[in-house]
């Protein structure tokens, strides 16, 4: 549903950009270009940023309702718009208004999803008729998760994320997201992966639940520094309603895969009591 587009007129568009979780994330090693070789299964989920994109008079104007979101070239949606106009040689004339629902620095791919949704929307608004392959070439330098969101499907991603193979999940998962107030830097997490160690008493091995293996190699470096996330995972795994629990991407969001008919809101309430009253929580599902 990335780039689920609702038309108002020919010169504006409402876009819903979904978050994602990594059902599994395996790091195969460091590449010569500084990136890491990945093998990751990613699923979009029913939590969305909202973007309104209007054809403007001149340039690229960007606004967001959340002060923590970077502006200008540091924003992936702005970078996507610039890349689109530079590649197509179309005169830039756009305004992007972002309502942020996906937490920033959470490992949920919000910025990447916004960027992919901008590429999809501009391709339609300006009738550029670019193929998915052409859009993927634009997306790759913007961020590792941006190509994934162009496919609007769960997908197996390899390389540093740019090799996307859409897959159909065997089933829809009911998910509870938990995020503390702090964020984790993706670049930092990857840089610490090689030298990191496991914390005793914490479960890192793959969890099998509902014909799916859940594992994340970035838990090792992230848990070493952010022990609260390791404790959160073990607390979630101790709840009878939870089938599997994992960190998404580089964190700081932890997610629980709920058992059939389990009440995610009840678990969220208990988590705030047991772990941190300031936790951000969201019950959603894979789409």
Computed over every residue of the chain, the mean pLDDT equals 93
Residues 113 and 90 occupy one common structural domain: yes
For residue 213, give the CATH number of its domain: 3.30.70.890
Q: Does residue 158 have a cis bond before it (omega within 30 degrees)?
A: no
Owning domain of residue 59: 4-166
Residues 159 and 22 occupy one common structural domain: yes
Beta-carbon contacts of residue 218 (< 8 Å; ≥ 6 apart): 25, 27, 189, 190, 193, 247, 249, 250, 251
Of 49, 100, 114, 145, the active-site residue reads: 145
pLDDT of residue 75: 94
Residues 208 and 96 occupy one common structural domain: no
Residues 127 and 56 occupy one common structural domain: yes
Q: What is the mean pLDDT of residues 6-29?
A: 86
Write the pLDDT tens digit of every residue in 152-192.
Answer: 999 999 998 889 999 999 999 999 999 999 999 999 999 99
Q: Where are the alpha helices (DSSP H) in 172-246?
A: 186-192, 219-225, 227-237
Closest by Cα among 145, 149, 144 to 132: 149
Among the candidates 132, 166, 200, a domain finishes at: 166
Residues 162 and 279 occupy one common structural domain: no
For residue 46, give the CATH number of its domain: 3.30.230.10
pLDDT of residue 4: 55
Residues 71 and 194 occupy one common structural domain: no
Residues 162 and 198 occupy one common structural domain: no
The mean-pLDDT minimum among 61-75, 110-124, 249-263 falls in 61-75
pLDDT of residue 7: 47
- 139 neighbors 150 (Cβ within 8 angstroms): yes
Residues 114 and 232 occupy one common structural domain: no
pLDDT of residue 8: 46
Write the pLDDT tens digit of every residue in 92-128.
Answer: 999 999 999 999 889 999 999 999 999 999 999 999 9
The mean-pLDDT minimum among 65-74, 91-100, 138-147 falls in 65-74
pLDDT of residue 10: 67
pLDDT band at 60 (very low <50, low <70, confident <90, very high): very high
Q: Please state, in angstroms and as integers, the Cα–Cα distance from residue 155 to each residue in 38, 147, 183, 279, following that order.
A: 13, 10, 25, 29
Structural domains counted in the chain: 2
- 56 neighbors 13 (Cβ within 8 angstroms): no
Q: Please state, in angstroms and as integers, the Cα–Cα distance from residue 186 to each residue in 39, 208, 222, following that order.
A: 16, 26, 10
d(CA 177, CA 21): 9
Write the pLDDT tens digit of every residue in 182-220.
Answer: 999 999 999 999 999 999 999 999 999 999 999 999 999
Of 20, 100, 179, 233, the active-site residue reads: 20
Among the candidates 142, 166, 190, a domain finishes at: 166
pLDDT of residue 232: 98
Q: What is the DSSP letter of 103?
A: P
Q: What is the mean pLDDT of residues 256-280?
A: 98
How much of the chain is helix, strand and coil, in % rounded to 5?
A: 30, 35, 35
Residues 23 and 127 occupy one common structural domain: yes
Residue 225 a catalytic site member: no
Among the candidates 166, 187, 222, a domain finishes at: 166
Residues 144 and 214 occupy one common structural domain: no
- pTM for the model: 0.93
Residues 104 and 179 occupy one common structural domain: no
pLDDT band at 150 (very low <50, low <70, confident <90, very high): very high
Percent of the chain with pLDDT over 90: 85
Residues 231 and 142 occupy one common structural domain: no
Residue 20 a catalytic site member: yes
């Amino acid at each position: 549903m990335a780039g689920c587009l609702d038309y108002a007129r020919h010169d504006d568009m409402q876009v819903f950009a979904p978050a994602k979780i990594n059902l599994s994330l395996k790091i195969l090693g460091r590449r010569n270009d500084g990136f890491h070789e990945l093998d990751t299964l990613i699923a979009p989920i029913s939590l969305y940023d909202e973007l309104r994109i209007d054809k403007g008079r001149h340039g690229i104007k960007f606004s967001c309702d959340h002060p923590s979101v970077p502006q200008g070239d540091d924003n992936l949606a702005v970078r996507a718009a610039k890349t689109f106009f530079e590649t197509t040689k179309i005169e830039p004339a756009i305004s992007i208004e972002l309502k942020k629902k996906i937490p920033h620095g959470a490992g949920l791919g919000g910025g990447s999803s916004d960027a992919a949704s901008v590429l999809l929307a501009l391709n339609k608004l300006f009738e550029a008729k670019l193929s998915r392959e052409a859009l993927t070439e634009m997306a790759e330098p913007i961020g590792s998760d941006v190509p994934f969101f162009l496919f609007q499907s769960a997908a197996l991603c390899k390389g540093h994320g740019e090799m996307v193979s859409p897959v159909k999940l065997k089933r829809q998962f009911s998910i509870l997201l938990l995020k503390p107030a702090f964020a984790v830097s993706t670049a930092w997490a990857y840089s610490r992966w090689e030298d990191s160690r496991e914390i005793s008493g914490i479960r890192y091995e793959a969890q099998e639940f509902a014909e799916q293996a859940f594992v994340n190699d970035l838990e090792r470096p992230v848990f070493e520094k952010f022990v609260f996330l390791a404790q959160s995972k073990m607390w979630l795994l101790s709840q009878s309603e939870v089938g599997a629990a994992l960190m998404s991407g580089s964190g700081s969001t932890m997610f629980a895969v709920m058992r059939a008919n389990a009440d995610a809101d009840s678990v969220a309430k208990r988590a705030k009591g047991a772990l941190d009253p300031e936790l951000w929580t969201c019950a959603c599902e894979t789409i």
